[in-house]
Amino acid sequence: MAKDPIRVLVTGAAGQIGYALVPMIARGVMLGVDQPVILHMLDIPPAAEALNGVKMELIDAAFPLLKGVVATTDVVEACTGVNIAVMVGGFPRKEGMERKDVMSKNVSIYKSQASALEKHAAANCKVLVVANPANTNALILKEFAPSISEKNITCLTRLDHNRALGQISERLNVQVSDVKNVIIWGNHSSTQYPDVNHATVNTPAGKKPVRELVADDEWLNSEFITTVQQRGAAIIKARKLSSALSAASSACDHIRDWFLGTPEVEFPPIIVVDQDLSNGHTPFSNMF
């Protein structure tokens, strides 16, 4: 029996991450190869022509799962009826900028989009905030979309998680799919803490702790941590552009595991906003 299409909103869809992300969604990378989708793409008026170009390419690609495309600069039209919202649009971080530098510029953007989701999105809409500062943007969205369950508003730590997996995989010369249960503590920022104390690797002899296999605590406690923390800045320095491909792939991973689940023995790398702001910070917690 054919499934009903799921409506997926991507904001900033004409940008780098959006351009990488929408074909992944249309191909089934995010929700599965048997799940039809209708893409809602939103961008600002100056990007309207480019957005229409993305729509034309989606049509030309003839994705069997893609049952419709809404390409618009109107936030209400974009948010109407959506089941999933991937919030990619925001003021871009550039070389030399910290996330705090773009914070004030994103407040008005997220107020407007949150209000539209509050009024027009489908019930039980699930939201993933990608645009930096992701944690703060997620908090703003939560405040201005109070009817959306706080557990349905998440932000992207999966990119940091995947970066940590990649570093361990390269260090040990193992398949990245064999590395499990790395944890990212803290905000999606340079203050995060990649934690391998519970991480394991599937080997021919069974599961082995990462620390045992790496056998180099100095590397794990220094270079490994700073590499993961500073990976985004390193990519911006190398490309002169942000890490669009890996961010788009990680967003698909995040939503896929949220919708389809993970094995009980694996930690789901999803974070949600915690209501308790009494310590003066923006705390987050594991979702499950």
Catalytic residue status for 188: yes
> In this structure, what token pair is assigned to residue 175?
């398949």
Q: Return the axis-axis angle of helices 158-172 and 231-239, rounded to nearest 10°.
A: 90
Burial of residue 224, with CB atoms counted within 10 A of its CB: 0-12 exposed, 13-18 middle, 19 or more buried: buried
Asked if residue 25 lies in contact with residue 31, where contact means CB atoms within 8 angstroms, the answer is yes
Asked if residue 141 lies in contact with residue 114, where contact means CB atoms within 8 angstroms, the answer is yes
Residues making up the binding site for NAD(+): 12-18, 43, 106, 130-132
Nearest to 19 by CA among 241, 240, 233: 241
Nearest to 157 by CA among 189, 126, 179: 189
Catalytic residue among 40, 188, 198, 281: 188
Between CA 151 and CA 272 the distance in angstroms is 6
Q: 79-114 burial string, b = 16+ CB within 10 Å, else e?
A: bbebbbbbbbbbbbbeeeeebeebbeebeebbeebb
Torsion of CA 58, 18, 120, 68, to 10 degrees: 10
Residues making up the binding site: 12-18, 43, 93, 99, 106, 130-132, 163
Give residue 237's Cα distance to chain centre.
21
Residues making up the binding site for substrate: 93, 99, 132, 163
H helices present in the chain, as ranges: 16-27, 48-61, 75-79, 99-120, 134-144, 158-172, 210-214, 217-221, 223-229, 231-239, 244-260
Beta-carbon-side half-sphere exposure of residue 2 (alpha carbons within 13 Å): 8
Between CA 160 and CA 83 the distance in angstroms is 25
Report, as residue numbers or ranges, the catalytic residues. Answer: 188
